[in-house]
Amino acid sequence: MKKIGVLFGPENTFPGALVDRINSLEIDGIRAEFVHVGGVRMAAPSGYAVIVDRVSHDLPFYRSYLKNALLTGTYVINNPFWWSADDKFFNYALAARLGVDVPRTVLLPHKQLPPQITSRSLRNLEYPLDWDSIFHYIGFPAYLKPHDGGGWRDVHYVRSREEFFEAYDQTRDLSMVLQAEVAYEQYFRCIVVGQSDVLIMPYDPGRPHEQRYVLDHRLRDKALIRKIRKSALALCRALGYDFNSVEFAVQNGVPFAIDYFNPAPDADLHTIGQGNFDWVVDAVARLCVRKAQARTPLPRMRWSALLNGALPKARKPRAGKAAASKKPAGKAIRSSGAARD
Ligand X SMILES: Nc1ncnc2c1ncn2[C@@H]1O[C@H](COP(=O)(O)OP(=O)(O)O)[C@@H](O)[C@H]1O
Summarize as ranges the residues that interact with ligand X (CB under 6 A): 103, 143, 145, 149-153, 155, 179, 181-182, 205, 247, 249, 258-259, 320, 341
Residue 303 contact among ligand X, Mg ion, none, beta carbon within 5 to 8 Å by kind? none
Using DSSP, state whether 274 is helix, strand or coil. helix
179, interface contact from ligand X, Mg ion, none, CB < 5-8 Å by kind? ligand X
**176 exposed, middle or buried (CB, 10 Å; 0-12, 13-18, 19+)?**
buried
* Smallest gap from residue 203 Cβ to ligand X (A): 8
Least Å distance between CB 149 and ligand X?
4
C-alpha 26: how far from chain center:
32
Cβ distance to ligand X smaller for residue 182 or 193: 182
Q: Does 154 bind Mg ion (CB under 5 A)?
A: no
Pick from ligand X, Mg ion, none: which does 135 bind, CB < 5 to 8 A by kind? none
Least distance (Å) between residue 208 CB and Mg ion: 15
Q: Are the beta carbons of 46 and 68 closer than 8 angstroms?
A: yes
Considering beta carbons, is residue 270 or 334 the nearer one to ligand X? 334
Residues near 272 by Cβ (< 8 Å), separated by ≥ 6?
191, 201, 213, 266, 280
Q: Is 266 in the site for Mg ion (CB under 5 A)?
A: no
Q: Which does 242 bind (CB under 5 to 8 A by kind): Mg ion, ligand X, none?
A: none
What is the smallest separation between the CB atom of 155 and Mg ion, expressed in angstroms?
8
263 binds, among Mg ion, ligand X, none (CB under 5 to 8 A by kind): none
Burial of 16 (0-12, 13-18, 19+ CB in 10 A): middle
Cα Rg, the chain, nearest whole Å: 21
How far is Cα 73 from Cα 61, in angstroms, rounded to an integer? 19
Give whichever of 74 and 262 is closer to ligand X, judged by the CB atom. 262
Residue 259 as a binder of Mg ion (CB under 5 A): the answer is yes
How far is residue 246's CA from residue 172's CA, in Å, rounded to a whole number? 27
Measured from the CB of residue 30, what is the shortest distance to ligand X in angstroms? 34
- How far apart CA 102 and CA 254 sit, in angstroms, is 10
Contacting residues toward Mg ion, per CB under 5 A: 259
